[in-house]
Structure 1
Amino acid sequence: MPALLTPLRQIFDRPWLLAVLAAVVSAGLLLAASLGLAVQQMNRDESAQMNAQGERFRERLEQVFGELRQGVDTLQAQTLRGCDAAMKTALQEVGLRSRFIYEAAYVDGTQACSNRGGERVIQPQRAADIQGPTYRYWLNTSAEPNDNLAALMLGRGPFLVSTSRGHLTDVVDLPPGGSLLVLLDHGSRAVPVLGPAQQWPPSADWPPRSHNALLEMPDKLIYRMPTRSPDYQLVLIAPRANPPLRLDGPLWLLFPVSLVLACCIGWLTLQWIERRRSMRSALQQALRRGELQVLYQPIFELASRRCVGAEALVRWRRHDGSLTSPDLFIPMAENTGQIRQITDFVLQRVLEQLGHVLRANRQLYVSVNLAACDVMAPRIGLVAARLLARHRVSATQIAFEVTERGLIDVVVARDNLQALRASGHPVLIDDFGTGYCSLSYLQTLPVDCLKIDKAFIDALGHDAASSGVAPYIIRMAHSLHLRVIAEGIECEAQALLLSSEGVNYGQGWLFAQPLSAQQFIALITRSRAMPAGNP
């Protein structure tokens, strides 16, 4: 396994290679997304076109059926019967007045005549496809490729009217491979009026639950057209086209923009890696040069306002005087593993600077923050034991603070924290309420004190949703027999309210800002009397 990891480390240690890889991957993703958008737009356009076409079909077919019904109603209403000259004239007038009636005929058992003169008189060769109370419908009466043959025929009494294929194709622009179907028998049977026969039903789960007029299927589009007659339905079916991808309008910009964005991502990745490498190297040099310094945030007992200890804070002041925020270099140090060196440095510096003060004030303590890597391993206990023996300081005077977010594996963390506590070190949970440490876990952890995050302290006395969190944490801590430290106290009202709620200790700018070792020693010197007990 290590043999495999070595080449990978070598690859990922090359900023340009990582930048190119990030650019290629992002280009692929962006281009795929652009292509997906283009295809989606094409499908939307196809559906919109089919929707509009189906609506035109419905309107025109209603006109065709309406004129056929009107024509046969006119013939049925007259008193003429037979095939005399008056009948032929009446048939011709009906054909001339209608745009869609190709042939009007009178057919009884003995004679037949048509407005077409001596041409073939339409006569149905089978029973009507639709036998309504008033009208009879014949659909697709002949399969012969002749535009003059009837595509739709309507009958009432002895009269027949029909529209030819030629008339019908003039009013409906059928898409390639599409078909106009008439659905009979409550949709169970489909008769093609125009176009080839289609599989019916089109899917195993037909009819669909959707009531939309346009149904989109993977291989076809189906447009259902409501009609005024309950005897039939009209359906337009067209296969889904696979046209070449066309990037109309602003879509053509997606691909060049994707490539530009991919290049930008690659460049930003390179800058980020170089910056991290630069900061990692700078932090390593800062450790060697002594640019890191430890400040001390005093912790006071709220009841007596006496200093009982301090929290050690690491700060990075570069050689040019600029200050690098811990929020920037601490997470980076945790990711690179340098946080162990920083923790060891803080421990060593605390004991070097305050060892004599701690020996002289056995009830004074300093807390040191632990990263997740030290919470999940027993290393820090060994380091602390060695340094404490060298400086002759009690383990009870060095407390360790862990955050809820650092408790990645509660079981492992519990064992390691228990080992620290068994050695005499107090254990504090820092920023409590901002992580994911449940009450059931908290009950099993070897903890001496909870530190309430500043955000909940700031909400005290306000109508914010989090204003009740701090009192809840205080009551919970008391039920578990834990001490409480409130962080970020900035005004007297907060201190009084927290004290009335039973909070033991507090820290914040109300009492003191982070102090250097000399300033902290001066503070302790001014107040020699230490309160009984410590976290």
Structure 2
Amino acid sequence: MSAPISALRQFFYRPWMLATLAALASAAVLLAASIAIALQQMKDSEMAQMNAQGERFLERLEQVFGQLREGVDELQAQPVRGCSPAMVSVLQQVGLGSRFIYEAAYVDANVACSNRGGARAFVPTRAPDIQGPTYSYWLNTTTEPNENLAALMLARGNFLVSTSRGHLTDVVDLPPGGSLLVVLDNGTRAIPVLGPPQAWPPTNGWPPPSQKSLIELQDRLVYRMPTRSPDYQLALIAPRASLPLRMNGMLWLLFPGSLLAACCIGWLVLQLIQQRRSMSSELQNALRRGELQVLYQPIFELDSRRCVGAEALVRWRRPDGSLTSPDLFIPLAENTGQIRQITDFVLQRVLEQLGQLLRSHRNLYISVNLAACDVMVPRIGSVAARLLALHRVAPSQIAFEVTERGLIDVVVARDNLQALRAVGHQVLIDDFGTGYCSLAYLQTLPVDCLKIDKAFIDALGHDAASSGVAPHIIRMAHDLHLRVIAEGIESEEQAVLLNSEGVNYGQGWLFAHPLNARQFAELVTRGRQPRRARINDEP
């Protein structure tokens, strides 16, 4: 079973395969984003179209109702009654004087006449749709597709005025199956003014609690429009499939643009993988050619300014003299597994260079950084035991530093660190405060010392939000009976302040820059920092 899995992993770990997968994944994401933008654009287009149509119709309806009220008020105010020639003349004058009054009529129990001449006035046979204190309104008084028939009618006393359907349809281009409705009785009833009747209410629990104007249903869109009258509202209903939706021309460029961007991402991933593989190969050659070097950052006791140890740092100086930052090759080595070779190299080089110094100074120690992969497996202990026996150095003189981020599984890490500590190694938590190690976990870990990250040291004495972190860590360490080392001390003021807070040890440029083995040995034996030299000078 392992052979097929290994072959499958090798197949998918090929640069072109990873680049292809990256291109496909990015294409899927970009196309999904493009489709989402397109759908949102279509939705905005639907709303914009319905809003434009609704506003035009609402404006026209207000104009029509206004002229109908003015016309019927004028008729009600004049003294003539009945269907005399004088009444017909008045009705004609009102009809001719108003753009939207198609028919003006007088109706009583005995006679009816209108401005349309000898034609009998249309008399509604149903109760008014809206009954106000002064006016009565009839909506959609005919459903015949004839624009010269009355569509809206208003009455006051014995007078009726109406407008034709054509006065409403000339401002609204309804899609097939769409309707404009006047909503009455607090949303419980709707009368179509234009278009076919619609099922009302459109959904259960109407009106919806949402105040949105556009209500999206599965097959229809309902656009609600308030009016200046509290008696009615307008609603525009249109089937979704019948709306003439258009996407912006730039939007169509997103689709080929997404594919082009996906290809670019795939190409960049391929270049990055090849570059990383190239650097991985260069790192392997650097290990073989001995281009990696170990420097030592001294650790001092703050009271006596005596050097008590050092942190081993690995540096990569290429044949041309340039330095490759550890921030570049250490994460790469962790990803490729080469970090184990680097850790073994550092351990071996420390004992080769400083074995004699450590044997003659039994209280001196060197700390070596451990990657997460060595924290989670019991490997480094046997490597260290073999090298310590070869160079006759006590385990207490080699400490191991782990970061909070390296404690992926605290239970497994605790067991492996306890095994190191059981044979005499010290365990330090590096860059404490920058990870996710809680106090509850810290209490259970086999730890001897906490190292406070330089960022918190720099904040001391300032008003920065993190200025109180270092004192908190110091107090917590004291409560747990742990030593504290402050990293990155660059000024005497920082050293004095930290010492007053109870920090006993520190490292940083105030005391010494990273030194090679010869310089560090001189510092320990003579009690002072030697003359600065190139960091690649070997003893």
Q: TM-score, normalised by structure 1?
A: 0.94
SS, match of residue 520 in structure 2: helix
Q: 1:278 to 1:242 in 2, by over 3 A?
A: farther
Shift of 1:145: 3.0
Structure 1 residues 225 and 450: alpha-carbon distance in aligned structure 2, compared to 1, 3 A threshold = closer
CA–CA separation in structure 1 for the residues paired with 2:478 and 2:228: 78
After TM superposition, give the deviation of residue 432 of structure 1 in Å. Answer: 0.9
Aligned counterpart, 2:304: 304
Q: Relative to structure 2, which stretch is displaced further, 165-174 or 298-307?
A: 165-174
Q: Which residue of 2 aligns with 1:204?
A: 204
Flag the 1:422–1:140 CA change in 2: closer, same or farther, 3 A.
same
Question: Is the contact made by 1:60 and 1:172 (CA closer than 8 Å) also made in structure 2?
Answer: no
Q: Which residues of 2 match residues 260-271 of structure 1 at below 5 A? A: 260-271=260-271
Deviation at 1:158, TM superposition (A): 1.6
Aligned-residue offset at 1:12: 2.8
1:106 matched to which residue of 2? 106
**1:532 alignment counterpart:** none
Shift of 1:343: 0.9
How many pairs are equivalent? Answer: 528
Shift of 1:241: 4.7
Taking the aligned partners of 1:353 and 1:81, their CA distance within structure 2 comes to 124
Counterpart of 2:50 in structure 1 is 50
1:386 is aligned to 2:386:
yes
Shift of 1:212: 4.4
Give the distance between the partners of 1:313 and 1:8, measured in 2 at CA: 37
Please name the residue that 1:85 is paired with: 85
- Partner of 1:436: helix, strand, or coil? coil
Give, in whole Å, the separation in 2 of the partners of 1:331 and 1:445.
25
Provide, for residues 427-449 of structure 1, a one-character-per-residue CA deviation record: whole Å limited to 9, x for no partner: 11111111111111111111111
Q: Are the structure 2 counterparts of residues 88 and 258 from structure 1 closer, same or farther at C-alpha, using a change threshold of 3 Å?
A: same
What is the aligned partner in structure 2 of residue 163 from structure 1? 163
Counterpart-to-counterpart distance in 2, 1:378 and 1:146: 92
Partner in structure 1 of residue 525 of structure 2:
525
The alpha-carbon distance between structure 1 residues 211 and 202, as it changes in their structure 2 partners (threshold 3 A), is same
**Correspondence 1:485 to 2:492:** no
Counterpart Cα distance in 1 of 2:181 and 2:124: 20
Cα offset, 1:394, TM superposition: 0.9
Q: Cα distance 1:243–1:147, how it changes in 2: closer, same or farther (>3 A)?
A: closer
Give the 5 Å matches for 1:276-291: 276-291=276-291
Give the aligned partner of residue 505 of structure 2.
505
CA 1:3–1:144: 2 relative to 1, 3 Å: same
Q: Whole-Å Cα distance in 2 between the matches of residues 348 and 243 of structure 1?
A: 76
SS in 2 for 1:294: strand
Task: Look up the equivalent residue of 1:207 and give its one-letter code.
Answer: P
1:462 paired with 2:462, answer yes
Give the partner amino acid of 1:74: E
Q: For residues 368 and 171 of structure 1, what CA distance do their matches in structure 2 show?
A: 82
Q: Structure 1 pair 4/150, CA: closer, same or farther in 2 (3 Å)?
A: farther
Residue equivalent to 1:65: 65
Q: 2:23 — aligned with what?
A: 23
Q: Tell whether the 8 Å contact from 1:347 to 1:368 is kept in structure 2 after alignment.
A: yes
Distance (Å, rounded) in 2 between the aligned partners of 1:525 and 1:171: 99
Correspondences of 1:422-433 after superposition (within 5 Å): 422-433=422-433
Identity of aligned residues (%): 78
Q: Which amino acid aligns with 2:181?
A: L
* Offset at residue 244 of structure 1 (A): 7.9
What corresponds to 2:445 in structure 1? 445
Tell me the CA shift for residue 215 of structure 1. Answer: 4.0
Find the aligned partners of 1:99 and 1:68 in 2 and give their Cα distance.
Answer: 10
Counterparts in 2 of 1:246 and 1:137: CA distance versus 1, 3 Å? closer
In the superposition, relative to structure 1, how do residues 13 and 227 fare at CA in structure 2: closer, same or farther (>3 Å)? closer
**Structure 2 counterpart of 1:323:** 323
Choose 19-28 or 350-359, whichever is displaced more: 19-28
The residue aligned with 2:142 is 142
Which letter maps to 2:170?
D
Cα distance in 2 for residues equivalent to 1:227 and 1:299:
80
Taking a change above 3 Å as real, the CA distance of residues 465 and 45 of structure 1, as seen in their structure-2 partners, is same
Offset, 1:109 = 1.4
1:416 counterpart residue number: 416
Distance 2:262 2:459 in 1: 43
Q: Map Cα deviations across residues 304-340 of structure 1 (whole Å, 9 max, x no partner).
A: 1111111111111122322111111111111111111
- Name the structure 1 match of 2:533: none
Separation (CA, whole Å) in 1 of partners of 2:99 and 2:278: 84
The whole-number CA distance in structure 1 between the counterparts of 2:166 and 2:486 is 90
Does the 8 Å contact 2:92/2:115 carry over to 1? yes
The Cα offsets for residues 71-128 of structure 1, whole Å up to 9 and x where unpaired, read as: 1222222221211111111111111112122211212111111211222321112222
How far the C-alpha of 1:160 sits from its partner, in A, is: 1.4
Pick closer, same or farther for the CA change 1:76–1:4 going to 2, 3 Å.
farther
**1:39/1:245 contact within 8 Å kept:** no
Moved more, 167-176 or 411-420: 167-176
Q: Unaligned regions of 5+ residues in structure 1, if any?
A: 529-535
CA contact (8 A) 1:296 1:310 kept: yes
Deviates more, 1:123-132 or 1:98-107: 123-132
Q: Which moved more, 1:254-263 or 1:120-129?
A: 254-263
Residues 1:178 and 1:246: Cα distance change in structure 2 (over 3 Å): closer
Relative distance call for 1:484 and 1:231 in structure 2 (3 A) is: closer
Structure 2 Cα separation of the partners of residues 21 and 145 of structure 1: 60
- Compared CA separation, residues 297 and 331, structure 1 to 2 (3 A): same
**1 CA distance for matches of 2:244 and 2:37?**
15
Q: CA separation of 1:42/1:327 partners in 2, compared to 1, >3 Å: closer, same or farther?
A: same
C-alpha distance in structure 2 between counterparts of 1:349 and 1:208, whole Å: 76
TM-score, length-normalised on structure 2? 0.93
